[in-house]
């Protein structure tokens, strides 16, 4: 098959312009923008900052194909839902004006799986999904603390083609979901519209969260599952996420991840 167009997450405000050139040199060809804040969203100054950002990304051949939406606290908790829904809509519009189709979001924890509060969440999520659909975009849940059965219930209840999942195989283990990454994919494959290429190990006794590893060195079964997803005809963004500080170790891990992904694609 043809070479993959592989992306990397860019946390705006945390890197120098030279970082983009390094990513280009190691084979990254797309970007996912994280932290699209008021600096880019508001007024004439925001438009200018945004134009300069997009120009830099195009110059380094790292066009943005997705954004990671900033929504502290998520959209499940009613105390922060309204504010975050509005902010998400602003970020969707920002992305849409720049031809960016996919928006990924940590939606938060789900304390109740049924009842009036859950029903109201579904109603409001339907409105957000309708806006994404009208913008010809996808609003994707990031893999987090919500298990596969509950995600399936949410997606079926909302019933929108603009709603889906960003499958992060590492997060399945970091958040210690009851499913394996393969089992989660088997339940939700029809809703998987984007990938975070990340690996991890489950938490040890006494730990709340697992820990990230180098891609291919964790317990996610990444190699076989990635190849299956590609064989199944996946067409969405493929983004490497390596959550360690920018520097030589991250550059090495990103480069090795690019080489691994391209090798797996060619072997398929």
Nearest by Cα to 238 from 217, 260, 221? 260
Count other C-beta atoms under 10 Å from residue 222's C-beta: 24
pLDDT band at residue 260 under the 50/70/90 scheme: very high
Residue 96, pLDDT score: 97
Q: What is the pLDDT of residues 150-164, one digit of tens each?
A: 999 999 999 999 999
pLDDT, residue 140, reads: 98
What element of type H or E holds 54? helix 43-59
Burial status of residue 140 (CB atoms within 10 A of its CB: 0-12, 13-18, 19 or more): buried
Judge whether residue 146 has pLDDT over 90: yes
pLDDT recorded at residue 111: 67
Instruction: Supply the pLDDT for residue 112.
Output: 72
At residue 220 the predicted structure's pLDDT band, cuts being 50, 70 and 90, is: very high
Q: Which two tokens stand for residue 55?
A: 């120009």
Mean predicted confidence (pLDDT) in 182-192: 98
What CATH number does the domain containing 99 carry? 3.20.20.150
- 31 has pLDDT over 70: yes
Mean pLDDT of the 175-181 span = 98
pTM of the full predicted structure? Answer: 0.95
Q: How many domains does the chain have?
A: 1
- Segment 223-238, tens digit of pLDDT: 999 999 999 999 999 9
The answer as to whether 14 is a domain residue is yes
pLDDT for 95 equals: 98
Strands 30-34 and 6-11: parallel
Q: Quick check: is 106 in a domain?
A: yes
Quick check: is 1 in a domain?
no
**3-class DSSP string for 6-30:** EEEEEECCCCCHHHHHHHHHCCCCE
Buried b / exposed e across 184-208, counting CB within 10 Å, b at 16+? Answer: bbebbeebbbbbbbbbbbbeeeeee
Mean pLDDT of 27-52: 96
pLDDT at 139: 98
Give the rounded distance of the alpha carbon of 36 from its chain centre: 14
pLDDT, tens digit, 9 for 90 and up, residues 100-131: 999 999 998 886 778 888 898 899 999 999 99
Domain of 124 in residue numbering reads as 6-267
């Amino acid at each position: 098959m043809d070479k993959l167009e592989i992306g990397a997450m860019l946390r705006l405000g945390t890197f120098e312009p030279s970082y983009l050139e390094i990513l280009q040199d190691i084979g990254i060809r797309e970007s996912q923008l994280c932290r699209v804040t008021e600096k880019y969203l508001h007024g004439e100054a925001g438009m200018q900052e945004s134009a300069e950002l997009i120009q830099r990304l195009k110059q380094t051949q790292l066009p943005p194909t997705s954004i990671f939406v900033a929504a502290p606290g998520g959209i499940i908790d009613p105390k922060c839902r309204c504010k975050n829904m509005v902010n998400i809509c602003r970020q969707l519009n920002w992305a849409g004006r720049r031809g960016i189709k996919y928006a990924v979001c940590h939606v938060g924890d789900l304390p109740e799986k049924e009842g009036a509060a859950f029903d109201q969440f579904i109603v409001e999520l339907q409105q957000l999904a309708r806006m994404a659909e009208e913008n010809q975009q996808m609003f994707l849940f990031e893999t987090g603390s919500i298990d596969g059965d509950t995600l399936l219930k949410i997606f079926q209840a909302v019933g929108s083609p603009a709603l889906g999942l960003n499958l992060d195989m590492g997060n399945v283990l970091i958040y210690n979901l009851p499913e394996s990454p393969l089992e989660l994919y088997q339940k939700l494959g029809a809703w998987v519209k984007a990938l975070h290429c990340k690996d991890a190990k489950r938490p040890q006794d006494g730990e709340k969260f697992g820990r990230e590893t180098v891609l291919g060195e964790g317990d996610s079964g990444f190699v076989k599952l990635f190849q299956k997803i590609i064989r199944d005809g996946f067409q969405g963004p493929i983004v490497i996420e390596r959550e360690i500080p920018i520097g030589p170790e991250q550059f090495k891990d990103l480069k090795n991840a690019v080489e691994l992904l391209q090798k797996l694609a060619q072997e398929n």
